[in-house]
């Protein structure tokens, strides 16, 4: 159990970082596709699915991290960042209203910073890792 508690912040940092790289790489993928006239009209299905995969992994990493931290301000900030990230990604898919695409970087970077902060300052020494 200690392993899951200690690794949830690493998993969250990793998932958020991959999400950020995915968001940064997407415009370059479109540029590469534009150069190939015989190619597809949009990104591959597996590329679009990665958004949902990162959201699912981030959800569980945040769930585990918030269950085990004593840093009270981390819990609402992690969930707020996750909700913001989810809204931006779902809005991008459903095109409900205009949000600049660069906004997705704010909650993604926020999650990375929060997981790293929680990892550094929430020390786990027993099975009751960072619990009140």
Model confidence, pTM: 0.71
Q: Average the pLDDT over 110-126 and give the result.
A: 76
Torsion of CA 8, 10, 14, 19, to 10 degrees: 50
Greatest C-alpha distance within the chain: 59
Q: How confident is the model at residue 126 (pLDDT cuts 50, 70, 90)?
A: low
The string of pLDDT tens digits covering residues 75-92 is: 999 999 999 999 998 998
pLDDT given at position 17: 75
The string of pLDDT tens digits covering residues 23-57 is: 676 666 665 555 555 556 666 677 778 788 888 88
């Amino acid at each position: 159990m200690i392993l899951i508690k200690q690794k949830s912040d690493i998993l969250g940092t990793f998932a958020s970082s991959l999400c950020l790289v995915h968001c940064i790489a997407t415009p370059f993928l479109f540029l590469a596709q534009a150069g190939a006239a015989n190619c597809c009209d949009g990104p591959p299905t597996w590329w679009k699915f990665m958004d949902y995969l990162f959201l699912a992994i981030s959800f569980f990493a945040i769930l585990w991290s918030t269950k085990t931290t004593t840093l009270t301000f981390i819990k609402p900030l992690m969930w707020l960042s996750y909700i913001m990230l989810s809204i931006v990604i779902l809005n991008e898919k459903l095109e409900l209203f205009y949000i600049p695409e660069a906004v997705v970087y704010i909650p993604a970077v926020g999650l990375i910073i929060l997981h790293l902060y929680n990892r550094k300052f929430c020390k786990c020494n027993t099975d009751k890792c960072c619990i009140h």
